[in-house]
Amino acid sequence: MSNNDKQDDVGTTGHSWDGIEELNNPLPRWWVWILYLTIVWAIGYTIAYPAWPLVTGATEGVLGFSTRGQVQEDILRVEEQNADLLERLTTIDLAAVADDDELHGFAINAGSSIFAANCSQCHGRGAAGVQAGGYPNLLDDDWLWGGNIEEIVYTVTHGIRNEQSFDSRYSEMPKFGADEILIDDEITALVQHVRAISGQEHDAELATTGAELFLDNCASCHGDAGEGMAELGAPNLSDAIWLYGGDEETIYASIYNARFGVMPAWSEEYRAAGGLSAAEINAVAVYVHQLGGAQ
Amino acid sequence: MSTENPPSLYAKREPVFPRKVKGTFRTLKWAIMAVTLGIYYLTPWIRWDRGAELPDQAVLIDLAHRRFFFFWIEIWPHEFYFIAGLLIMAGLGLFLFTSAMGRVWCGYTCPQTVWTDLFIATERWIEGDRNARVRLWNAKWDGRKVRLRVTKYFTWLLIGLATGGAWVFYFTDAPTLFTNLLNGSAHPIAYTTMAVLAVTTVFFGGIAREQVCIYACPWPRIQAAMMDEDTITIGYREWRGEPRKHSEALKTGEPMGDCIDCKACVTVCPMGIDIRDGQQMACITCGLCIDACDDMMAKIGKPRGLVDYLSLDDAEAEAAGKPTKPVWQHILRPRTLIYSTLWSIVGIGLVVALFIRTDIDMTVAPVRNPVYVTLSDGTIRNVYEVRLRNKHGEERPFELSLNSEAPLLVSLQGQEEGDLTVMVPADSTHLVRVFVSAEQGSEGALGDRTPLRFWIEDSINEERAFDDTYFNGTGGS
């Protein structure tokens, strides 16, 4: 091939690598203009947007833009979009929510977030409760205060055994041991009876004694057969589910000291801060209801 | 380079006024332009029936619903590997074509080339051929120049608008959008996209032209590295052409080469280069210089091919008077065969993947927090989040069933016991909570992990799909 004519026009940079030389071609002029333009743009940008660090912050920029403000705007926009759904959630018959795919999906998603933020601390993220603390499992079919959706809404709104709401669910079990209502042997016998009616290993002789004590002391709340009473939040003692535990030691402790599980009222009506609106309570109730244990 | 006259650091662009040319490669370029632009502009208007609830546009990128429709194929986001595969094939295809035929992509099919070609043709149609355009460029601004320039830019803008217009039709139903665009009710994004594309098209195709290829595009650098001595590219037979007319030879009376230095190859070049300088980065191998030179050779009664497609190997051999290789030997080489093989493997893989995927599908995610729940009667229950996928254009009833060695009961959240039919809406994924339970003391309840298989059956065409998972028992505790 012929020699490159350009070499005569522009020359080389004088660099040579293994005989390969670099032509000293000029840049296109517009390229230079673009460089100047980017500098002008950058100056304008630092004036328009937050840029220069100062001692306690940064320049705010004449456009007043901030990422925090952008998030606020996004939240407001989403809230506006959801306003209609939240409105429907407060007015609709909750039992019918499941038939409305859009509302049901919204309630489950909203309820899941509300649950994670407010309920999971005690009931666990998966709603399985914590037996050691007596925080009920919300996935099973055993409900202390009733498990249909209206009852769940009531429990969340007013809470249990709290001083925030006058309408909170309330009951109190006597401390049979600590207040010396029953003596030690009687409590031991009761433990065996409770183990018997819940189908666990037990001492049959003691259980027979316990059965009589049960009718005198416990049946008024827990029922003759130990089936519990939702009106009083008295647990079913004859099933396989234990709020605090079904071993002898735990049952003994439950009778001796009694239990007094507390749940706060979540309605914003009863809380200075961090309360839930009616729509939010309905959403969390729908969420809990569909987890699988509800009635 | 003289020291008294140092080169400028920055150069003004030398305007390029490509002359009209006729010939084999020009005809080929017209044909390719017609086909590629035809595909681009017409594709969104092809209709394809997919059922009542799916769009009837043959090629549609439905961003809002995250679907890509291509005739009978529908791609969901989780099948993005098809796009990845196509990109790999496009890459390997470029390797293949570049190693065999140089920058053939640049010269014939690159959108930058096709649109620039279209813009140059428009310019020639309005302002005349090369000489007229050079005169107009140098002329003072008068009524005629203003009229011609305004007409040219207006026409370019219309082409740009049509380009941007065709683009937006790929993303929504074309006829609807067309009506909306006309009566002003289309989404602002559609108008903005059209405006941006109109301006950039005019800028790249009409104003920047060859500078995009020379300064902005990385391909020339990459392709240069992929070409070798066997690659068929455009060359000048200097051993035949030189010494050219107008050179020193004229004075000394030496025998002259075939090149009459008519500069036909230079004036037709859209890149504004002289191919006689040899292979260079700015050459997009469009072949127009070959047409121009062949035309001149015919006129002066010399054989064609002074400028021609030829490989570096052949150029060397021919110059030395040795035999050259036949074309097929340049194309069928281990290198191109390896590229072809890789390309085919990916292609066959994609086609197979396309045919083995089902229209219905399920994924089962066991809920692990907690892994099981004890019910009041001692039953152990697991919960599964089951996603059912229906790709049909209408709602389908899916029948859920379960296969396991241990006796397990299955039910659906919000449905009656025994009702295992789920209606899955058209072209969507539907999430259901599935409860599986084992009676107290049964094998599944006491076991640790019991394997189980969920089945779904489309009640209409009996298509089936399954997913495997485990049932978690108490592990004996």
Residue B52 included in any domain? yes
CA-CA-CA-CA torsion sign (A159, A163, A166, A172) = positive
State whether B47 and B165 are in the same domain. yes
Residue B333 included in any domain? no
Phi, psi of B50 (to 5 degrees): -120, 10
Going along B274-408, which residue ranges are E strands? 307-310, 360-366, 373-374, 380-390, 396-404
**Which residues from chain A sit within 8 angstroms of residue B13, using beta carbons?**
28-30
Q: Do A29 and B375 touch (CB under 8 A)?
A: no
The residues in B 111-140 lying below 8 A from A, measured between CB atoms, are none
Whole-angstrom Cα distance, residue A129 to residue B46?
A: 58
Q: Which of A32, A240, A241 sits opposite B10 (nearest CB)?
A: A32
**Which residues from chain A sit within 8 angstroms of residue B276, using beta carbons?**
2
CATH number, domain of B376, equals 2.60.40.10
Q: Which of B235, B238, B413 sits opposite A292 (nearest CB)?
A: B413
Residue B89 included in any domain? no
The domain containing residue B209 runs over which residues?
24-79+104-218
Residue B340 included in any domain? no
State whether B369 and B446 are in the same domain. yes
Q: Which of B218, B240, B272 finishes a domain?
A: B218
State whether B364 and B321 are in the same domain. no
Q: Answer whether B79 touches A (CB < 8 Å).
A: no
Across the strands, what pairs with B310? B233
**Which residues from chain A sit within 8 angstroms of residue B426, using beta carbons?**
none
Residue B9 included in any domain? no
* Contact predicate A109/A197, CB 8 Å: no
**Which residues from chain A sit within 8 angstroms of residue B1, using beta carbons?**
8, 10-11, 24
Q: What SS3 state is found at A124?
A: coil
What is the predicted pLDDT for the residue at B174?
92
Q: Answer whether B441 touches A (CB < 8 Å).
A: no
Question: Quick one: how far is CA A5 from the chain centroid?
Answer: 75
Per residue in B97-119, pLDDT (tens digit) is 999 999 999 999 999 999 999 99
Which residue in A5, A140, A171 sits closest to B261, CA to CA?
A5
State whether B237 and B181 are in the same domain. no
* Contact predicate B162/B38, CB 8 Å: no
Whole-angstrom Cα distance, residue A257 to residue B36?
A: 85
Structure tokens given for B198: 């109109």
Question: Quick one: how far is CA B420 from the chain centroid?
Answer: 45
Q: Is the pLDDT of residue A1 over 70?
A: no
Which residue, chain included where needed, has tokens 């998966």? A126
HSE-CB at B381 with a 13 A cutoff on CA atoms is: 23
**Angle in degrees, 0-180, between the axes of helices A184-197 and A204-217, rounded to the nearest 10:** 100
Per residue in A232-262, pLDDT (tens digit) is 999 999 999 999 999 999 999 999 999 999 9
State whether B199 and B61 are in the same domain. yes
* Contact predicate B245/B264, CB 8 Å: no
How does the average pLDDT of chain A come out, rounded? 91
Q: What SS3 state is found at A182?
A: coil
CB within 8 A of A149, min separation 6: which ones?
A94, A95, A285, A286, A289, A294
State whether B159 and B305 are in the same domain. no
- Rounded to a whole number of angstroms, the distance from the CA of A123 to the nearest CA of chain B is 11
Instruction: Tell me how many degrees the CA angle A234-A248-A263 measures, rounded to the nearest 5.
Output: 35
Q: Which residue of B has its CA nearest to A30?
A: B12
Select from B14, B233, B375, B431 the residue whose CB has the most chain A CBs within 10 Å, as the one to mutate to test that interface.
B375
CATH 1.10.760.10 domain locations along chain A: 77-168+263-289, 184-257
- pLDDT tens, per residue, chain B with 477 residues: 445 566 677 888 888 999 999 999 999 999 999 999 999 999 999 999 887 788 899 999 999 889 999 998 888 988 888 999 999 999 999 999 999 999 999 999 999 999 999 999 999 999 999 999 999 999 999 999 999 999 999 999 999 999 988 999 999 999 999 999 999 899 999 999 999 999 999 999 999 999 999 888 998 888 888 888 899 999 999 888 888 876 665 667 677 888 988 899 999 999 999 999 888 888 999 999 999 999 999 998 899 999 999 998 999 999 998 888 888 988 899 999 999 999 999 999 999 999 888 889 999 999 998 999 999 899 999 999 999 999 888 889 999 999 998 899 999 988 888 899 999 998 889 999 999 999 998 999 999 999 999 999 998 888 999 999 999 999 876
Residue B160 included in any domain? yes
Whole-angstrom Cα distance, residue B63 to residue B166?
A: 17
State whether B126 and B265 are in the same domain. no
Q: Is the pLDDT of residue A107 over 90?
A: yes
Q: Rg of chain A over CA atoms, in angstroms?
A: 35
Per residue in B63-80, pLDDT (tens digit) is 988 999 999 888 898 888
Q: Do A10 and B375 touch (CB under 8 A)?
A: no
State whether B316 and B442 are in the same domain. no
**Which residues from chain A sit within 8 angstroms of residue B277, using beta carbons?**
1-2, 4-6
Q: Hey, how many other C-beta atoms are within 10 angstroms of the C-beta on B166?
A: 19
State whether B399 and B454 are in the same domain. yes
Q: Give the helix, strand, coil percentages of chain A, each rounded to 5.
A: 50, 10, 40
Q: Which of B242, B274, B376 sits opposite A241 (nearest CB)?
A: B376
Q: Do B376 and A140 touch (CB under 8 A)?
A: yes
Q: Which of B218, B246, B264 finishes a domain?
A: B218
Q: Do B373 and A124 touch (CB under 8 A)?
A: no
* Architecture in CATH for domain A184-257: Orthogonal Bundle (1.10)
Q: Which of B13, B369, B376 sits opposite A128 (nearest CB)?
A: B369
Q: What is the 8-class DSSP label of residue A119?
A: I
**Which residues from chain A sit within 8 angstroms of residue B211, using beta carbons?**
28, 30
Q: What SS3 state is found at B299?
A: helix
Q: Do B433 and A292 touch (CB under 8 A)?
A: yes
* Contact predicate B311/B330, CB 8 Å: yes
Residue B167 included in any domain? yes
Phi, psi of A102 (to 5 degrees): -65, -50
- Rounded to a whole number of angstroms, the distance from the CA of A53 to the nearest CA of chain B is 35
State whether B30 and B175 are in the same domain. yes
Residue B223 included in any domain? no
ipTM, 2 decimals?
Answer: 0.82
* Contact predicate B372/B473, CB 8 Å: yes
Q: Do A26 and B280 touch (CB under 8 A)?
A: no
Q: Answer whether B238 touches A (CB < 8 Å).
A: yes
Question: Quick one: how far is CA B472 from the chain centroid?
Answer: 49
CB within 8 A of B99, min separation 6: which ones?
B226, B227, B228, B230, B231, B333, B335, B336, B339
* Contact predicate B379/B446, CB 8 Å: no
pTM above 0.80, yes or no: no
For the domain made up of A77-168+263-289, give the CATH fold: Cytochrome Bc1 Complex; Chain D, domain 2 (1.10.760)
* Contact predicate A159/A263, CB 8 Å: yes
Going along B143-236, which residue ranges are E strands? 233-236
Q: Which of A4, A140, A292 sits opposite B278 (nearest CB)?
A: A4
- How many helices and strands, by DSSP H and E, does chain B display? 18, 15
Q: Which of A24, A28, A240 sits opposite B378 (nearest CB)?
A: A240
Q: Work out how many domains chain B is built from and give that number.
A: 3
**Which residues from chain A sit within 8 angstroms of residue B440, using beta carbons?**
240
Whole-angstrom Cα distance, residue B24 to residue B288?
A: 9
